[in-house]
Amino acid sequence: MTTIPKVLVTKIGLDGHDRGSRIVAAYLRDAGMEVIYTPPWQGIANVVKLAIEEDVDVIGISSLATDHLIVPKLTRALAEAGVVGVAVIVGGIVPDDDEAMLVAAGVARVFHPGAPLAEIAEFIRSVVPSLRAEREAA
């Protein structure tokens, strides 16, 4: 049975530059995934709510202007809401020190500028089966 990954592509915080999130969302959609796309500036509570309602496998956060600094607030809010089996990935401009901080906060993967789109899709496909198993077990 083929599984169609379900991905929420969004931006939290204060920045509105959405070239990256639009390109990634369109690419994943055309690669056969189900993509939920939002405008920038989503509140963290809203992202958690969307992730639960839409039963997504992956939350992709695009950050170009330091909004990644509040991604740990998102992973904490997901945990507090009892969400399991959902991977958070971050794409954009993330300094090396901050990447370590994000990984420690539970972010599954950080994609930097120049990362091929196919690599993002491949990563998502590779993690979806175990994420689904985790959600079913919970």
Which residues form the interface with other proteins (CB under 8 A)? 13-19, 22-23, 25-27, 29, 35, 37-41, 65-67, 69-70, 73, 93, 95-97, 112-114, 116-118
Complex with other proteins: residue 16 or 129, whichever CB lies closer: 16
Q: Least distance (Å) from other proteins to the CB of residue 1?
A: 27
Q: List residues bridging with 111 in a β-sheet.
A: 91
φ and ψ at residue 108, rounded to 5 degrees:
-75, -30
Residue length of the chain: 138
Complex with other proteins: residue 108 or 120, whichever CB lies closer: 120
Kindly state the helix (H) or strand (E) to which residue 127 belongs, with its residue range: helix 117-137
Q: Least distance (Å) from other proteins to the CB of residue 53?
A: 16
Complex with other proteins: residue 29 or 135, whichever CB lies closer: 29
Complex with other proteins: residue 13 or 83, whichever CB lies closer: 13
Q: Are 10 and 64 in contact (CB under 8 A)?
A: no
Q: What is the dihedral of CA 95, 43, 56, 15, to 10 degrees?
A: -40
Q: Least distance (Å) from other proteins to the CB of residue 130?
A: 27
Q: Least distance (Å) from other proteins to the CB of residue 138?
A: 29
Q: Which of 136, 120, 99 is nearest to 27 (CA)?
A: 120
